[in-house]
Chains A and B, each alone.
Chain A
């Protein structure tokens, strides 16, 4: 596309609500971030934190009738929130592609892998069947599926979980997207296969220069692949920063708890901690910091209003009143 310096993804004040007759669920409540070309971001959070919803919002893939989107959302230079359905369909699969958590159910069981790739190629690149098939074969080789030619004629149930996820990746890459979205791409796989898929994704990202946004609840995955990590809680980014720095010294008490509750090498010899309580009900969010009811450091101030985004050093930020803000200090 154009060589504009604009970021690949530009998100400001993103809100996503699911409206039904019984209730309104505030799934995402004000998310801001940018993603540069070729950069990889990992959104970390427990289930229900709004991470998948955020990811799907980037392609407007949440259930169309019930979803209300608000804010600014630009992907590859195009407005997502106001776009027509036809314009969105042109964007999906070509500039932006997504891979899903469970490759067994995310692939159509009665179409061959080959057909599922070629139909995307034909849809977006307007090439003939033969050319699309040649491209499909290339793609299966790119994602390192052995005996690729034979696998084109295979149905999803005939492949192992790892191969299915590779096929899913091949479909996503079929039109050379600038942005790849991955919704817990390794959660449904065996541990050994997880690592292979992660390595493949990292390699492909570097080779193809794609921007990648990952959603996971697995810290190990996040550390393995991402340049930057954003921690999500109750529909907000409560902390973001470079992978190394964030994993070594999280700022937000929730991020601290999350890292403390998981086994990883940095914690050798320490006790695992747990976070007391449960995430808030997204139908009735508290006025202040959503984590305050579970937070050991909660103060009066936390309950009054949602803490603003504070940045103690360039590239890092957290929404916690205890985090010093660089801008404020500089001004003082």
Chain B
């Protein structure tokens, strides 16, 4: 088991490096001289030269990558072309906001998805099952940026019940755990939760149906276990794969909130990305994507380890 853990941890290193490489290359696939992608157009020639030297932009790509990685490891993700502020500082606040939104959406989506999926599996073939599956299909097929607009129309415009954009009253940047602030989280979190809801519903339903069809369920009935006793077995069998899917979904939520954040002007990484795209602010784009992708790598690792801990069949190989 120790060696398995070690192997899995070591395997994450080349993945993280490759992910960094892809992010590094983003600057180079941008049209034009890379230096123009990371230095403001109106910068003095001396600054341009200094950056060019610092990042080794006249040297071969591998050298550039190492130099860039060196900066990144020190927490230096460059400066925004648009604002001149340090990218890592802007990201710090944005990642926190996105994480909050993603966790809220995950909470709603996972709970609802588990409930719907379990119901569907327990009553498979009935109208309950069909309804849950239809709901799940709608959840994974709905363009959530559109759903966000529908939510705004219904809850903000027609009912005037919830705020449509921002993350606090009067555009305040500081967050607090009171209704004044939380109400801003409701619509984006609900909107973002439909995808994990749909995916988790399908996954839970599929897993539970598969487990219920297995021979050992007959053994359990043959032992005279009551419903509750059988459920305990189903849960423990379903947990590893369902939790793995949930973990990945949390990662997708972090990386995929850009559209919802744009609709609701939620000050997270997606909003940052959107303005970076709009202003062709490549350092911000690169830094944000690097941080989100590395987060996803770490999350994948955590999911794998969790799965290993939960499933005896993997644990001891």
Contacts and interface: CB of A to CB of B under 8 A. Distances in A.
| Complex contact flag A–B (Cβ < 8 Å) | yes
Interface of A: 59, 61, 86, 89-94, 97-98, 100, 102, 105-111, 119-120, 123-124, 155, 157-158, 168, 171
A109 B224 CA distance: 19
A102 B224 contact: no
Contacts of A157: 312-313
B237 A109 contact: yes
Which bucket holds chain B's interface residue count?
A: 20 to 34
A188 to B, nearest CB: 11
A55 to B, nearest CB: 11
Interface stretch (B50-58, B64-72, B136-144, B225-233): B225-233
B224 A98 contact: no
Interface stretch (B166-174, B211-219, B274-282): B211-219
Closest 3 CB pairs of A and B: A93-B224, A92-B224, A93-B223
Interface string B292-317: 00000000000000000001110010
A97 B224 CA distance: 9
Given A100-B215, A157-B313, A110 B222 contact: no
Interface of B: 214-216, 218-226, 229, 233, 236-237, 311-313, 316
Nearest to B225: A123
A164 B173 CA distance: 62
A123 B224 contact: yes
Q: What does DSSP make chain B's interface, helix, strand, loop or mixed?
A: helix
A102 B215 contact: yes
Contacts of A158: 316
Contacts of B316: 158
B224 A89 contact: yes
Nearest to B218: A61
A110 B226 contact: no
Contacts of B218: 61, 100, 106
Nearest to B238: A110
Given A119-B229, A155-B313, A158-B316, A106 B224 contact: no
Contact of A108 (B216, B221, B226): B216
Given A105-B215, A108-B216, 18 more contacts: A61-B221, A61-B222, A90-B224, A92-B224, A93-B224, A93-B225, A94-B224, A97-B222, A100-B218, A105-B214, A106-B219, A107-B216, A108-B219, A109-B216, A109-B313, A119-B229, A155-B313, A171-B219
A98 B219 CA distance: 8
B313 A108 contact: no
A60 to B, nearest CB: 9
Contacts of A102: 215
A157 B314 CA distance: 11
Contacts of B229: 119, 123
Contacts of A105: 214-216
